Amino acid sequence: MLTVTEAGEALGIGRATAYRLAREGVIPTQLFGQQLRVPVGWVLEQGGMNTGVLLASATSDVDGET
């Protein structure tokens, strides 16, 4: 799972736009406690090209960090 900001970076859009699209339901999100997350698979399906963001997220998930 990615933060909305990370998803925006991977999709090549800004933070404010990513949050607006999440609010509008264009970007699917799940709430974990108070943290809004975007499924990595959805970002990849949309052609998210910034793989550095995705790899960093995957590494932190494995290490147990968020």
Counting the structural domains of the chain, the total is 1
Would you place residue 46 in the very low, low, confident or very high pLDDT band (cuts 50, 70, 90)?
Answer: confident
CB 10 within 8 A of CB 24: no
What does pTM read for this prediction? Answer: 0.73
Higher confidence at residue 30 or residue 48?
A: 30
Residue 6 has pLDDT above 60, yes or no: yes
Residue 21 pLDDT exceeds 70: yes
Structure confidence by residue, pLDDT tens digits, 32-41: 999 999 999 9
- Domain ranges, residue 12: 2-62
Distance between CA atoms of residues 66 and 26, nearest Å: 24
**Mean pLDDT value of segment 45-62:** 63
